[in-house]
Structure 1
C-alpha cells in the first residue's frame, strides 16, 4: 500500500484535519480507510470520533485529555507504523433499485439535449458502472459516488432547486449521488430510488459507509411502487454483497 505525504492542521479547538493529496483516487481512499481502521482499532479513549471524505480525515478528540501537538505526534507515529493491511478493509456492494422514468428523471431530456446522446444511452451508461462511495455529506446519508462515466460529466445547475425529492438520483460535475431527504440541490435529477439510504431511527442510520460500492439497477414504475409497498410492510431487503 502506498505511503502519502500528509498534512495535519487544527480544526477548531478539539479536532485535527488530516489531508492527503487533493485527488479523487481509490488508492488514497483505501489509505484513509486503512488509517481510520488503525485509529479506531487502538481504542484511544481521548479520540471521540473519526470521519473522512475524499482526501481528508477528521479526528475529533477530548482536548481536556490531550493537546493538539501531542495528538498530532501520536497520529503521525501511528500512520508511519503501517501495521494495518488492506485486507482489514471490508467492502459491501449495494444494489440500489432506480426508476429512470421521466416522471422521476426530470432532467433527462435536458441532459440528452446538452450531451447529444439519447435518454436510453444516459440510463444504460449510468446504470452500467460500479460506483465507489468516496464520502458522505452535505446531508446525513448523502453519498458522493465516484466512477461516473465521462460521457455523463456535466456541470451543476446554474440555479439550484429549492426542493429536491428524497431518493432522487442526480449528476453533478464528475459525480453522481442520492439525495437522502427532501432538500435544496443543484445536481441534475435523472431518476429516483424507493429505498431510504438514511433513517435516523434505524440502529444503523446510514446503510452505506465510505469505501463501499454502489450498483444502480433500473426498475419500472410498477416495480418502484411494489418495492415501496414492501418497504412499508417491512419485508423488503436491499441486495448487498460483502467482500
Structure 2
C-alpha cells in the first residue's frame, strides 16, 4: 500500500512552489518524492519548466507566474493524492572504484585518530555499504549519498579547503560523496575515484539518477592509474547492475 506523508506547500517565488516532506533522510521519503515528481512530469509537463528534488523536498518551477497560489496548491494536493505506486525508472547499482591511498586521502589519518578506528577499518566500513543516491547537486554530477555507517560520521571541516581535486571522495557530517570537478570544499577527504561523474557532451551528462545505488570498490594505486588511463582514452566502462524490484 502506498504510504502518504503530511506535506507542506509554500510559494518560493512568483513562478515556483516548494513542497516539503518530513525533515529526515529516509528511503521511503525518497521513493515518495520520486513518485510525485514523476507523476507531475507526466501529467503537468506542459506547464512545468523543471522540478528540482532534494532530500526532503521538491521545487516546482512553472512557465508562468502563479496568480492564484491557493488554487495551485489545491491542484498539487490533488495530484499528490492521485500519484501511483508504479516503477519510476530502471534503477541501478553503480560500482565506483576508489583509491584510499594516503596520497589521495588527505584526512584519513586524522579521521582514524578522531574516530579511534584503524585506517583499514575505515576503508572497510566505507566500501562495504550500499549507498542510495538521493539527489544530484552542489556541482554538476555531485551525488548526495545516504547510508553512511554511523561510525564514520565526521563534521565538515571548520575551514574549507580552497582546492579539492576532481574525484575526491569525502565525508561531511552524515553524508559521503565525490567531487566531480576540482572545487573548494569542506568535506573530509578519504580517497579519490578516477572516473568521470559529469560529461556535458553526453545525452545523460551524469550516469546516475536519484533512486540508484552506489557501492565503492577499493582499488590500489596501480589499478587507479590503469582506470584513469582508460577514462582518459575513452575505453573505460563503469560497472553496474539493475536493481531487483
TM (normalized to structure 2)?
0.94
Aligned residue number for residue 12 of structure 1? 13
- SS of corresponding position for 1:88: coil
User: In the TM superposition, what are the counterparts of 1:13-32 in structure 2 within 5 Å?
Assistant: 13-32=14-33
Aligned residue number for residue 188 of structure 2? 188
Determine if contact 2:14/2:66 at 8 Å carries over to the other structure.
Answer: no
Does residue 59 of structure 2 align to residue 58 of structure 1? Answer: yes
CA distance in 1: counterparts of 2:19 and 2:65, whole angstroms: 21
Aligned residue number for residue 201 of structure 1? 201
- SS of corresponding position for 1:22: coil
5+ residue gaps, structure 1, are none
User: In the TM superposition, what are the counterparts of 1:66-81 in structure 2 within 5 Å?
Assistant: 67-81=68-82
Does residue 111 of structure 2 align to residue 111 of structure 1? Answer: yes
Q: Would the alpha carbon gap of residues 172 and 111 (structure 1) be closer, same or farther in structure 2, given more than 3 Å must change? A: same
Determine if contact 2:134/2:144 at 8 Å carries over to the other structure.
Answer: yes
TM (normalized to structure 1)?
0.95
- SS of corresponding position for 1:21: coil
State the Cα distance separating 1:208 from its structure 2 match: 1.2
Q: Return structure 1 stretches of 4+ with deviation > 4 angstroms.
A: 64-67
Cα deviation digits, residues 167-192 of structure 1 (max 9, x gap): 00000111101101111111000000
- SS of corresponding position for 1:156: coil
User: In the TM superposition, what are the counterparts of 1:39-188 in structure 2 within 5 Å?
Assistant: 39-64=40-65, 67-82=68-83, 84-188=84-188
Determine if contact 1:141/1:197 at 8 Å carries over to the other structure.
Answer: yes
- SS of corresponding position for 2:10: strand
Deviates more, 1:220-229 or 1:87-96: 87-96
State the Cα distance separating 1:65 from its structure 2 match: 8.2
Aligned-pair Cα RMSD in Å? 1.4
Q: Would the alpha carbon gap of residues 150 and 176 (structure 1) be closer, same or farther in structure 2, given more than 3 Å must change? A: same
Cα deviation digits, residues 52-75 of structure 1 (max 9, x gap): 010001111012587544332222
CA distance in 1: counterparts of 2:68 and 2:164, whole angstroms: 42
The aligned length equals 242
Cα deviation digits, residues 108-149 of structure 1 (max 9, x gap): 100001111100000011000000111212112111111000
CA distance in 2: counterparts of 1:89 and 1:73, whole angstroms: 27
- SS of corresponding position for 1:184: strand
CA distance in 2: counterparts of 1:72 and 1:37, whole angstroms: 17
CA distance in 2: counterparts of 1:44 and 1:66, whole angstroms: 19
CA distance in 2: counterparts of 1:154 and 1:4, whole angstroms: 30
